[in-house]
Structure 1
Amino acid sequence: MECRVSIEHPLTQCLCVQEECNVRGICDVPVEAVARMVLDPKNSHNDYGSFHSPGVQGSPHHAIDVESSSHQVNDDTTVLHSESESSRLAPDMTQSDLYQRQPLLPPSAKNDSWSGSGKGSVLHSPSSEYYDVEDKTEGLSIHRNGSLSNGIVKIDVPPPLREEPRFPKEKWKTFVAFLMLVVNFIITTATLALVHERVPDRDKYGPLPDIFLDNVKAADWALDVSEILIMISTNTAFIVLIFHKHRYIVMRRVFMILSLLYLLRSITMFVTVLPVASTTYYCSPKANATNGYIVAQRVWQLISGFGLSINGKHTYCGDYIYSGHTVILTMSYLIIAEYSPKRCFPVHWISWIVSVVGVIMVLVAHGHYAVDVIIAYYVTTTLFWMYHTLANNANLKQNGPNNFLARLWWFPVFRYFEKNVGGPVPRQYEWPLPWPRWCHGKHPNRNS
């Protein structure tokens, strides 16, 4: 049997025609053609034909010529080439043929390296200017040089719209956190009203040995200085909270942290009652009996004076472990340092100095033992940094086998307050009141 084939693709099965029965059959490619395709590295075998490789002098389009004789096929009436003619697998292709075979290639621009036809045309990769992506404030613009219009096609992709703001106000949660603070402050004052009756008699039990109090003479005026510094620090921190753009988020964080500190202080103050540290501080006489009326009267007196002694309202003793003065001074500094502008670093340093001086004045006045101050500083800073670490990391807001912070007893309350906050709160500020209008920007963001 004699086979005359015309190969259109290296991977395509050849067509074999039998002369006797004139039927179509399948045969293999001649050994010479297969060897030439494998051994010649210049051949390019792909679905889009063969191309002239640059840098090869005088090399024609790679093609496989197979002699064929004219035979007639019954089912499709196809006439093959004569034996004297050679059929090429990849004839000369024009640019339009290339696009038809490769529709995913980019359109050629004027004087582009894609243009050209014939044997001398050279194929290069698209130029780097083909895709020109520019970031704009209102969206993404894609510039594309088209060969048909020779213009610029701009596709503006608008930014995605958020169904929920990243930092929602959630005023109701802030109000709940404020109620928690009020309740825990009342619990602390009620605990002090009860502890006052259990304080050891000053005539029988003197102050406990303390490395600082034993070496520094008591000065009653120092307690007033400390409380004046407390008022300055708290007012400064309050101004930072008011002018913060995300004030409701920051306020409920402060309210919750303070409520936890007051609750822990009421527990430590109640379980262990220490003798009075000062021999000159005035303590109200004991009632030698406690009832609801006496406790409520003492609570109201303490709340009306904001727990300070400078106004003469704080005349009850026994609130030692741990120091409430140190808690407020430390908390005020942490708020100012965390939520005020970074460029206001002189304010940060002044706030730190004020807090340190205020704590030292408490010790000079013998208002607290040194251990009260140390415990208060440790508990306040640890709770503040722990809370903000949880709030600024989304993976720590979820319960997991490796998230041991999720085992904190106040973690469910934390998740309720922080589950919708999308990351660290930025340091942004705005005028808190709706008037005057000139204090607001032209386009205020009311979705923050």
Structure 2
Amino acid sequence: MLDFSAVLREMALQVDGDVSSWSVQQVGRWLEAEGFPDYVPMLCDQHRLDGQSLLSLREDDLRKPPLQMTVLGDIKRIIMAVHRLQSKNPSAMQDLGLTHSDGYPSLGTTTQCHGRPQHRGACEGTVVSRLQVPCQANGHHHHHHHHSPSPEAWDLSNGQWKDEELDPEYWKTALSVVYFVFVCGVTAFVMVIVHERVPDMRTYPPLPDIFLDSVPRIPWAFAMAEACGLTLCTMWILVLLLHKHRSILFRRLCSLVGTVFLLRCVTMLITSLSVPGLHLQCSAKVDLDNWGKVQRALTIWSGMGMTLTGVHTCGDYMFSGHTVVLTMLNFFITEYTPRGWYFVHTVSWVLNLFGIFFILAAHEHYSIDVFVAFYLTTRLFLYYHTLANTRAYQRSRRARVWFPLFSFFECNVDGPVPNRFCWPFSRPHLLKIIIG
């Protein structure tokens, strides 16, 4: 049966035009059309609520001074009506700088057709609100594109839409893996080059270091650091397999780790430091021809640069690659698991910090190597996710120039990735018969 009140409200909105340009009187008419005439004197006449302030209205504004509304039902109904209005005006919300991180609904760039996301130029900067568009049998969309999601679809507990579907974009994930493997190959070859340039220990002894000069060397500590890394890697693989959006997570990991290691290649090539400990047998290998260098690089690449696999390198200082891996895995585990998983988060941080301590205790890196590696890794992780979650630069020309990899991988990811888990494999046919 046709809802004439809903039709009248839609007609009123179309007549009034852009909500952000509404006057106080137009807001009053909207309140009356939504069924809240009793609040027009307080909100419009007394507090002069116009279109921009209406779009920025939150539940706390109604509960706290100066409004101090006390009728819970009216508060909820007004906020649900405001949410519907916000969902229909994504461009105005973006122009006003009102994002979901400030408590507003996340108005994304994805339309959904019975749960299947269809991106419409999000990478080109076109903003399309998150609307539920019904599908027709002939493949065409229904003409009523402004049917907004119900207020119940908004999860107030975590500031996200419930049952959100994100396009996994497997082809981008495959490209990120290619990028990561390429960077690993470049890193291995750079390690061969810097090994040839290691300063002679007799001429250039280890540099003064507060930690290394104060703590005696523990011979087995570096193997323990790599054991911590392998444990973190196992935890991350389990999280990745069970996470609903595993493709996006894996793409982000490859992108970030590849970028940090590419930066590490640059720093290693620019400056060669003396070895941090006399126990290191780091004589320069200058007798290798080009094929020998390639073979040496393949050995480092296949062994992932780990002493547990028999790889021994020198000269790869400036900042620690082991610290990068430990810290990045820790941050991904804690970011993409629920906040209530305190045990997992505690174990992850303990492994990260103990791994860093073991690197220093083994005298395999200077203290500045570990400090710079931890700082750069954490900053890049936080900057990347801040930009991805707020979508502050994803559509800007500046982002495409300075962060091309980020803009390419994240242009269709609408805000924060929700931490939802599911079984990655389909149930065997026999199991389906037994348990249904």
TM-score interval w.r.t. the shorter chain? 0.5 to 0.7
Which residue does the alignment assign to 1:251? 250
Partners in 2 of 1:437 and 1:183 — Cα distance? Answer: 40
Alignment match of 2:294 (pick from 287, 293, 296): 296
Q: Deviations over 1:151-177 (max 9, x none)?
A: xxxxxxxx9756625410110000000
The aligned counterpart of 2:42 is none
- Report deviation, 1:437: 6.4
Contact 1:244/1:429 (<8 A) preserved: yes
Q: Distance in 2 between matches of 1:252 and 1:303?
A: 20
Which residue pairs with 1:230 in the alignment?
A: 229
Residue 186 of structure 1 aligns to a residue whose secondary structure is helix
Displacement of 1:179 after TM fit? 0.5
Question: How many angstroms apart in 2 are the aligned matches of 1:417 and 1:198?
Answer: 37
Residue in structure 1 matched with residue 415 of structure 2 by the alignment:
423
CA shift for structure 1 position 270 = 1.1
Q: By how many angstroms is 1:277 displaced?
A: 0.7
Structure 1 Cα separation of the partners of residues 231 and 252 of structure 2: 21
Counterpart in the other structure of 1:209: 208
Specify the alignment match of 1:412 in structure 2.
404
CA distance in 1, matches of 2:233, 2:226: 10
In 2, the alpha carbon distance for the partners of 1:163 and 1:420 equals 14
| Residues 159-174 of structure 1 mapped to structure 2, 5 A cutoff | 161=114, 164=117, 166-174=165-173
| Distance (Å, rounded) in 1 between the aligned partners of 2:238 and 2:173 | 17
Matched, 1:337 2:334: yes
CA distance in 1, matches of 2:253, 2:348: 17
Contact 1:194 1:290 in 2 (8 A): no
Q: Under a length normalisation based on structure 1, what TM-score does the superposition of the two structures give?
A: 0.59
In structure 2, distance between residues paired with 1:240 and 1:438: 27
The amino acid of 2:331's aligned partner reads L
Local SS of the residue matching 1:196: helix
Do the aligned partners of 1:167 and 1:422 also contact (CA within 8 Å) in 2?
yes
Aligned partner letter, 1:363: L
| 1:312 is the counterpart of 2:304 | no
- For structure 1, the 5+ residue unaligned runs are 1-103, 107-127, 136-158, 441-448
1:271 aligns to what?
A: 270
Give the deviation of 1:213 after TM superposition.
0.6
Q: Which residue of 2 aligns with 1:195?
A: 194
SS class of match (2:376): helix
Distance in 1 of aligned mates of 2:216 and 2:247: 44
User: What amino acid is the match of 1:276?
Assistant: V
Match of 1:51 in 2: none
Question: In 2, Cα distance between the equivalents of 1:376 and 1:263?
Answer: 13
Cα distance between partner residues in 2 of 1:185 and 1:179: 10
- Could you tell me how far apart the structure 2 residues matched to 1:294 and 1:434 are? 47
3-state SS, counterpart of residue 164 of structure 1: strand
2:368 pairs with 1:368: no
Q: Secondary structure at the match of 1:256?
A: helix
C-alpha distance in structure 2 between counterparts of 1:279 and 1:227, whole Å: 21
SS in 1 for 2:308: coil
| 1:433 and 2:432 are equivalent in the alignment | no
3-state secondary structure, aligned to 1:343: coil
Distance 1:357 1:380 in 2: 17
Distance 1:271 1:415 in 2: 28
**Structure that is richer in helix per residue:** 2
Which deviations, in whole Å up to 9, do the C-alpha atoms of 1:197-236 show, x marking residues without a partner?
1001122221001111111111211111111111101111
SS of match in other structure, 2:191: helix
**Deviations 1:216-264 (CA, angstroms, capped at 9, x unpaired):** 1112111111111111011111211111100001110111001101100
* Contact in 2 for aligned 1:178/1:252 (Cα 8 Å): yes
Q: Distance in 2 between matches of 1:435 and 1:306?
A: 35
Identical positions, percent: 38
Determine the C-alpha separation between the residues in 2 that align with 1:351 and 1:439: 34
* Distance in 1 of aligned mates of 2:423 and 2:114: 26
Superposed, which structure 2 residues align to 1:337-416 within 5 Å?
A: 337-399=334-396, 406=399, 409=402, 411-416=403-408
Query: Deviation of residue 360 (structure 1)?
Result: 0.5
**Per-residue deviation, 1:438:** 9.0
Post-superposition offset of 1:415: 1.4
Computed over aligned residues only, the root mean square deviation of the Cα atoms, in angstroms, reads 2.7
The amino acid that maps onto 1:338 is E
Residues of 2 paired with 1:271 and 1:343: CA distance? 44
Which letter maps to 1:245?
Answer: K
Code of the aligned partner of 2:202: D
* Distance in 2 of aligned mates of 1:202 and 1:407: 45
**TM-score, structure 2 normalization:** 0.60
Q: 1:350 to 1:330 in 2, by over 3 A?
A: same
C-alpha separation in 2, matches of 1:259 and 1:326: 14
2:121 corresponding residue in structure 1: none
Larger radius of gyration: 1
For 1:191 and 1:272, the matched residues in 2 are separated by 12
Which residue number in structure 2 is paired with residue 242 of structure 1? 241
Hey, what does 2:180 align to over in structure 1? 181
Q: How many residues align?
A: 282
